Structures are given as structure tokens and as C-alpha cells.
């Protein structure tokens, strides 16, 4: 119960306008990924969309969190949205450009750090939140979205 309460309090500004409230996905696994448009790992957007396409009907949510903490993101939310739609055909939920590390980190990322000690050390780090709201697994930038460790962790939550 405590984990849900912590996740329930986290809201992000949506790149499409409005708000993304993690509480809306209570009972579903959520993979939260800090992203950047000008990173060597940017091609992982294809894998994130494939992962979302494969498992969304079973409840998985993939949330992209563009961040310029590593100085590899475009200048505006509009540029990020256009880049992702044109180059990757993304239709997964996405926040506005958001800080993910240090004192300026979004409260969700500060909560993750407090709960698990995990803090993104580069773009495309992944945090898997379970249906009950707790942190199930974390993955570094090198973990491809469709890799076995990631998909095994997700399918274990869907079955």
C-alpha cells in the first residue's frame, strides 16, 4: 500500500498538453524511460514502441521522459514531439522535457532514488514499476527495450 501511495502522488506534464498522473495506471506495469533525441541510444525509441505495441493490450504502459540532463535533448517540447513522431512514429505517452537527476530531478526520480538508490546515469535508463506501485527493476542505457531481461521482467508482471 505504501508504494502505491508514493507512486500515486507523481504527475508529469504531458508533451501533448495536460497532465500524466501515474495513479491512472494503478494495477498496470509501467516502464519509465528517460530519453534524449541526440543520443547514440536514441534508436531505442524503435524498441520502446515495439515493446509498447507488443504488451499494451495486456496492460503495459511505456512512459518516455525526455530529459536534457546529459545535454542531448532538443530545445523545446514541440521539437521533441515532432522528432519522435516523424522519425519513430511514437504513440506512447511522453512527458515534457524533465530533469531526472540531482536536486532539480522530478519528484518521481527523487522518490526512485530514495527507494532504490537508482538514479539515471545516462539517457535511456529504464525503471519498471509494478502493478502495486513499487520499483520492480531498473535497467541501464545499454539494456535494449526488447532484450530478454527487460521483456522477462515485464511478462512476469503481466501473467
Domain holding 109, by residue range, is 2-158
Task: Spot the catalytic one: 39, 99, 122, 134.
Answer: 39
* Number of domains within the chain: 1
Find the CATH number of the domain harbouring 117: 3.40.30.10
User: Are the C-beta atoms of 154 and 148 separated by less than 8 Å?
Assistant: no
Tell whether the model's pLDDT for residue 71 goes beyond 80. Answer: yes
Mean pLDDT of 118-147: 97
Predicted pLDDT of residue 132: 92
Tell whether the model's pLDDT for residue 147 goes beyond 80. Answer: yes
The Cβ of residue 112 has, within 10 Å, a number of other Cβ atoms equal to: 25
Binned at pLDDT 50, 70 and 90, residue 7 comes out as low
Predicted pLDDT of residue 9: 75
Tell whether the model's pLDDT for residue 5 goes beyond 70. Answer: no
Q: Does the active-site annotation cover 84?
A: no
* β partners of residue 20: 12
Amino acid at each position: 500500500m505504501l508504494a502505491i501511495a508514493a507512486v500515486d502522488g507523481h504527475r508529469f506534464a504531458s508533451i501533448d498538453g495536460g497532465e500524466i498522473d501515474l495513479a491512472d495506471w494503478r494495477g498496470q506495469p509501467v516502464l519509465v524511460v528517460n530519453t534524449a533525441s541526440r543520443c547514440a541510444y536514441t534508436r531505442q525509441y524503435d524498441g520502446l514502441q515495439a515493446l509498447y505495441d507488443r504488451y499494451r493490450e495486456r496492460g503495459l504502459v511505456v512512459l518516455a521522459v525526455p530529459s536534457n540532463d546529459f545535454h542531448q535533448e532538443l530545445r523545446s517540447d514541440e521539437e521533441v514531439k515532432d522528432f519522435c513522431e516523424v522519425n519513430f512514429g511514437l504513440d506512447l505517452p511522453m512527458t515534457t522535457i524533465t530533469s531526472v537527476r540531482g536536486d532539480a530531478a522530478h519528484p518521481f526520480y527523487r522518490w526512485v532514488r530514495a527507494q532504490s538508490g537508482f538514479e539515471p546515469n545516462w539517457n535511456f535508463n529504464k525503471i519498471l514499476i509494478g502493478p502495486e506501485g513499487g520499483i520492480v527493476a531498473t535497467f541501464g542505457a545499454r539494456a535494449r527495450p526488447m532484450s530478454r531481461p527487460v521483456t522477462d521482467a515485464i511478462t512476469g508482471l503481466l501473467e
